[in-house]
């Protein structure tokens, strides 16, 4: 099931840039070698202007309340909502399992896709009975165990079959629903397609999927910003990546012939160095993610890097996927400033070319992985020199409503230095009280397939 995360900007889209920005008060500095900043819930004071201006789209439990009532309910609502958002990770895990079940090739020899779903399900259940040495199978086993299912027993196998059947049906229904939602706005003249796309997954499970596509789109946006002088040479020192993701079963093709991996943090460092935007030897990147799976993966990579181990990124390319030459060029040079091409013995499916890059340990060590829910939290207190010059957030704000996106934007603004940039492939509602406004965008076409494109919007902190 190919699932892409396009959120194309319709060219006629008028940026809802509003005026009269209100400054944000930053919390004080904390000196010392150790990073003192911690995830800090968004205060009522910072949320109040959003609650007031987006009154029509606040959650029902916060609607039609006086300011005093909202203030006393606020911190309780933030804690509750934080738990609810984190609970969506479980459904995202299940979505990844469906991709793996339909497209994985390490546990079965059946044809890929939905036609062989029953035989594939039986093979997956046999495989998770002894998942030794296979990270993906171990993960599927953990997820079924959470539901009290033991695939080593006859009853457990039957329960697993029913469970996977339900998952496949749910994901198929949801995918169909998203397609219909897009179709419905497309059929209206001047339909707000980009706005609809930008919140399309607001009720969906939080997936960790990622691929080379958004890495390429961010590279193109940085290139444009550098060429326009909006990013000065060697000016970027602190970078944040919100939701770096984990490629569990590649979302476009469903490949599983290499270990789960993350690419965006490495790709952003690579792009900044290649394009002359990074301050040499002084670039630090912080990932901010709500998923323990993503955070543990990055922490383990850093731990291995401290012992001198590199991190291997595997980049598949299906020759039939009709990638544009620019994306092929990016794929061919990916990682040249952060590592070296590696020769690995991998067994990709027929028709799939593979590049592997060994990322140097010093690069891996420059990445700091933080648990943070950007909708409801920010890192604070941030000293001036710790504020971000650049924050990247692709394919993650689409999981939230306009109200939650606006809270996220306020949190992002609080962590950016004045003049700092947020790059996102979402169009976000801009409020005059949040000092972050769109100043342009970069359109990127990935392949000759219809709609295989993205728009990266550049938001600048005032
Ligand atoms: C679909 S992946 C996108 C990965 C990558 N950025 C890309 O464009 O391919 C979404 C990522 O955002 C993370 N995420 C979702 N909601 C988040 C939140 N509220 N705060 C921080 N991270 C979040 C997920 O855990 C996951 O790592």
Best of 204, 206, 285 to mutate for ligand 1, by most ligand atoms within 8 A of CB?
206
pLDDT value at residue 279: 82
Spatial contact of 240 and 289, defined as CB atoms under 8 Å apart: no
Please identify, by atom number, the ligand 1 atom nearest to the C-alpha of residue 392: 6
Best of 396, 407, 422, 423 to mutate for ligand 1, by most ligand atoms within 8 A of CB?
396
pLDDT value at residue 390: 98
Above 90 in pLDDT, residue 406?
A: yes
Above 60 in pLDDT, residue 126?
A: yes
pLDDT value at residue 251: 60
- Return the ∠ at Cα 84 (arms to 81 and 89), rounded to 5°: 135
* DSSP code for 111: P
Percent of the chain with pLDDT over 90: 75
Above 90 in pLDDT, residue 202?
A: no
Is residue 7 within 6 Å of ligand 1 at its C-beta? Answer: no
Above 50 in pLDDT, residue 27?
A: no
Q: Render pLDDT for 224-254 as a digit per residue (tens, 0 to 9).
A: 999 999 999 999 999 999 999 999 886 667 7
Rounded to two decimals, the pTM is: 0.88
Is residue 395 within 6 Å of ligand 1 at its C-beta? Answer: yes
Mean pLDDT for 247-265 is 86
Distance from residue 3's CA to the centre of ligand 1 (Å): 15
Question: Which residue's C-alpha comes closest to atom 25 of ligand 1?
Answer: 291
Please tell me which residue, 253 or 39, carries the higher pLDDT value.
39
Mean pLDDT for 40-46 is 98
Beta strands in 34-155 (DSSP E): 38-41
Beta-bridge partners for 370:
288
Please identify, by atom number, the ligand 1 atom nearest to the C-alpha of residue 293: 25
Distance from residue 399's CA to the centre of ligand 1 (Å): 9
Is residue 217 within 6 Å of ligand 1 at its C-beta? Answer: no
Is residue 394 within 6 Å of ligand 1 at its C-beta? Answer: yes
Above 70 in pLDDT, residue 16?
A: no
C-alpha–C-alpha distance, residues 123 and 161, integer Å: 10
Please identify, by atom number, the ligand 1 atom nearest to the C-alpha of residue 210: 9
Above 80 in pLDDT, residue 29?
A: no
Please identify, by atom number, the ligand 1 atom nearest to the C-alpha of residue 425: 8
Mean pLDDT of the chain: 88
Question: Which residue's C-alpha comes closest to atom 19 of ligand 1?
Answer: 373
Q: Render pLDDT for 337-365 as a digit per residue (tens, 0 to 9).
A: 999 999 999 988 889 999 999 999 999 99
pLDDT value at residue 3: 33
Is residue 240 within 6 Å of ligand 1 at its C-beta? Answer: no
Is residue 392 within 6 Å of ligand 1 at its C-beta? Answer: no
Spatial contact of 387 and 415, defined as CB atoms under 8 Å apart: yes
Q: What is the DSSP code string of 254-305?
A: ---SS--B--HHHHHHHHHHHTT-BPTT--EEEEEES-HHHHHHHHHHHHHH
C-alpha–C-alpha distance, residues 375 and 402, integer Å: 11
**pLDDT-based confidence at residue 133 (cuts at 50, 70, 90):** confident
Is residue 221 within 6 Å of ligand 1 at its C-beta? Answer: no
Is residue 396 within 6 Å of ligand 1 at its C-beta? Answer: yes
CA distances to 203, 398, 447 from 196, rounded to whole Å, are 13, 9, 23
Is residue 289 within 6 Å of ligand 1 at its C-beta? Answer: yes
Q: Which of 22-36, 61-75, 162-176, 385-399 has the lowest mean pLDDT?
A: 22-36
Distance from residue 69's CA to the centre of ligand 1 (Å): 32
pLDDT value at residue 294: 96
pLDDT value at residue 197: 73
C-alpha–C-alpha distance, residues 385 and 379, integer Å: 14
Distance from residue 374's CA to the centre of ligand 1 (Å): 10
Q: Render pLDDT for 174-188 as a digit per residue (tens, 0 to 9).
A: 887 767 777 777 666
Above 50 in pLDDT, residue 12?
A: no
Above 50 in pLDDT, residue 85?
A: yes
pLDDT value at residue 192: 65
C-alpha–C-alpha distance, residues 74 and 376, integer Å: 11
Best of 178, 289, 293, 444 to mutate for ligand 1, by most ligand atoms within 8 A of CB?
289
Beta strands in 27-154 (DSSP E): 38-41
Mean pLDDT for 74-81 is 97
Please identify, by atom number, the ligand 1 atom nearest to the C-alpha of residue 394: 8
Above 60 in pLDDT, residue 2?
A: no
Tokens 């007031």 map to which residue?
A: 52
Q: Which of 26-40, 85-99, 226-240, 261-275 has the lowest mean pLDDT?
A: 26-40
């Amino acid at each position: 099931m190919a699932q892409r995360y396009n959120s194309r900007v319709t060219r006629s889209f008028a940026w809802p840039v509003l005026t009269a920005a209100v400054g944000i008060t930053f919390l004080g500095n904390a000196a010392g070698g150790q990073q003192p900043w911690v995830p800090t819930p968004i205060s009522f004071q910072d949320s109040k202007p959003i609650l007031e201006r987006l009154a029509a789209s606040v959650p029902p439990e916060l609607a039609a309340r006086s300011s005093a009532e909202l203030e006393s309910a606020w911190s309780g609502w933030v804690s509750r909502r934080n738990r609810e958002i984190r609970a969506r990770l479980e459904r995202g895990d299940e979505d990844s399992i469906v991709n793996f079940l339909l497209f994985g090739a390490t546990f079965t020899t059946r044809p890929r896709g939905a036609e062989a779903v029953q035989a594939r399900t039986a093979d997956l259940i046999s495989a998770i009975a002894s998942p030794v040495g296979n990270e993906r199978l171990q993960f599927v086993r953990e997820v079924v165990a959470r539901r009290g299912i033991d695939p080593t027993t006859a009853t457990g196998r039957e329960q697993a079959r029913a469970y996977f059947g339900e998952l496949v049906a749910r994901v198929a229904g949801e995918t169909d629903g998203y397609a219909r939602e897009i179709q419905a706005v497309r059929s209206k003249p001047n339909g707000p397609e980009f706005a609809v796309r930008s919140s399309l997954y607001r009720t969906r499970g939080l997936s960790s999927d990622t691929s080379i596509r958004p890495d390429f789109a961010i590279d193109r946006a940085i290139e444009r910003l550098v060429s326009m002088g909006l990013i000065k040479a060697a000016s970027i020192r602190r970078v944040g990546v919100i939701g770096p993701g984990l490629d569990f079963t590649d979302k476009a093709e469903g490949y599983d012939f290499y270990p789960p991996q993350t690419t965006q943090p490495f790709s952003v460092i690579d792009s900044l160095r290649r394009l002359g935007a990074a301050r040499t030897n002084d670039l630090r990147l912080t990932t901010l993610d709500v998923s323990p799976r993503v955070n543990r993966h990055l922490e383990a990579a850093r731990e291995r890097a401290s012992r001198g181990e590199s991190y291997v990124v595997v980049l598949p390319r299906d020759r039939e996927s009709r990638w544009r030459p620019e994306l092929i060029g990016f794929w061919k040079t990916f990682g040249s400033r952060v590592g070296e091409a590696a020769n690995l013995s991998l067994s990709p499916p027929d028709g799939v070319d593979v590049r592997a890059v060994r990322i140097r340990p010093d690069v891996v060590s420059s990445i700091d992985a933080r648990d943070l829910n950007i909708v409801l939290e920010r890192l604070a207190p941030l000293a001036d020199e710790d504020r971000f010059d650049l924050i990247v957030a692709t394919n993650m704000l689409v999981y939230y409503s306009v109200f939650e996106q606006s809270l996220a934007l306020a949190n992002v603004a609080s962590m950016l230095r004045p003049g700092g940039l947020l790059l996102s492939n979402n169009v976000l509602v801009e409020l005059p009280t949040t000092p972050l406004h769109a100043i342009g965008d970069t359109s990127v076409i990935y392949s000759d397939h219809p709609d295989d494109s993205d728009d990266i919007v550049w938001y600048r902190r005032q």
